[in-house]
Structures are given as C-alpha cells and as structure tokens.
Amino acid sequence: MFRTALFTAAFGVLVTAPALAADYTLSRPHTQALFTVRHLVLTQVHGQIPLASGEVDIGPNNLPMNATETFDVSAEDTHDANRDATLRKDYLQTDKYPTITFVERSIEGTPSAFTMTGDLTIHGVTKSIALKGQYLGTMENKGKKLLAYTASTQIDRRDFGMTFGPLLNGALVVDNAVVIQIEAEADQK
C-alpha cells in the first residue's frame, strides 16, 4: 500500500511538473536583428538583418536557454540601396563574411529583466557580449506554443575589425557605436 501511494505521488509530480527545457525554432519571418548607428553625428540610421536560422530551449519561467542564431548579413536593409551597397562592401564585407552569429553561454535574471551572455561573431571576429532582454509573452497558434523576446546591446564596430570609416567635414560618416536589438519569436517544434 505504501509503495503504491509513493509511486502514485511520484508519478503525479512528474506529470504535473513543468518541463525544464523544450525545443523551439526561431521564426524566420518574425525574428531579426535591428541596428541603429549615427550618421554624420546628426541622425540615427536604422536597419535590419534577417534571421537565417536559429534554435533555443525554453527553460523555467520561459527564459531562453542555449540560443543559437545566425543572421544573413547579405540581406541587410536600411531602405536605401546606395547605403546598403556601401555597408555590405566596405563595412560588413559580406563577400567574405555573409553571416553574423550569436551563441548563448549563460543567462541570469528573471523573465522581465534578464542578461544573456554569449559569443557574437561579426566580420570574422568573435567577442563575448551581454544582451539585456525581456520575455514579452506567450500564445498558442494551431496547437503550438509561441514565445516572444526582445534583447539589446551596444558594440563598438572597431572591436569586430570594422575600422573602415571615411570622414566628411571632420565627422565620421558612420559612427563607431552600434546599438543592436534582437526581436525574436520562438515557435515550438
């Protein structure tokens, strides 16, 4: 009798306990890296780089764990064909470096305010960075769970070997500081 009760209690805990991790794919149409950089010390230029592929495990409290993302730099878009051609050729050198990758190494915090540390590779250079992020919510669509996240960081492009920088009237055409924001939707496999 005692064994049966113990087994029933243990089985009940296993069935009702939340999964510690689940496999999710990052949605290509709903995940992108957005960037903002100052132009001529005057205006902010915004662009986006689409996701090529990505996967993530969802941990306790919906924290993203083991995230791996690859972005297609050759499809970067600032809504100006001339500027995009210059960025791809002179700054990003997409013929040699067609992708940007991020591989998560650790995460700390809560769903409303977490810090995800990982390896960012741009222009063939890998550096450890910290993304400040937030879980945005969950919904179901066609029987699958979808989760959304936002995270951001700021880098110095020179740290990634992007030292190209013409001047115009003494000002950098493209500033060295680049803000990166990742908007991500994780779809249950």
- On the question of pLDDT at 12 being above 80, the answer is no
* Position 3 in a domain: no
Q: Is the pLDDT of residue 23 over 60?
A: yes
CB 37 within 8 A of CB 179: yes
Q: For residues 159 and 157, what is the distance between their CA atoms, to the nearest angstrom?
A: 5
Q: DSSP class of residue 27? A: -
> Does the predicted TM-score (pTM) go above 0.75?
yes
* Best CA proximity match to 75, nearest among 53, 44, 51: 51
User: Residue 38 CB: number of other CB atoms within 10 A?
Assistant: 18
Spatial separation of the C-alpha atoms in residues 170 and 182, rounded to whole Å: 32
Residue 2 belongs to some domain of the structure: no
3-state secondary structure of 59: coil
AA letter at 168:
L
Residue 37: which pLDDT band, with cuts at 50, 70 and 90? confident
* Domain annotation covers residue 128: yes
Domains: count for the chain? 1
Dihedral angle computed from the Cα positions of residues 159, 164, 168 and 169, in that order, rounded to the nearest 10 degrees: 60
Nearest to 76 by CA among 131, 123, 32: 32
For residue 5, being part of any structural domain is answered with no
- Rounded Cα distance, 46 and 55, in Å: 26
- Lowest mean pLDDT segment, chosen from 42-51, 80-89, 167-176: 167-176
The CA-atom distances, in angstroms, between 21 and each of 30, 65, 163, 179 are 22, 8, 40, 30
Q: How far is CA 145 from the centre of its chain?
A: 19
Is 14 inside a domain boundary? no
In a domain, 23, yes or no: yes
**At residue 159, does pLDDT exceed 90?**
yes
Q: Quick one: pLDDT band at residue 13, thresholds 50, 70, 90?
A: very low
pLDDT digits (tens, 9 = 90+) for 96-114: 999 999 999 999 999 999 9
Q: What is the DSSP letter of 90?
A: I
Provide the residue range defining the domain that includes 144: 19-188
Residue 139 resides in a domain? yes
CATH number at residue 87: 2.40.128.110
Is the pLDDT reported for residue 145 higher than 70? yes
Over residues 86-102, the mean pLDDT reads 92
**Mean pLDDT across 76-94:** 91
Residue 27 lies in a domain: yes
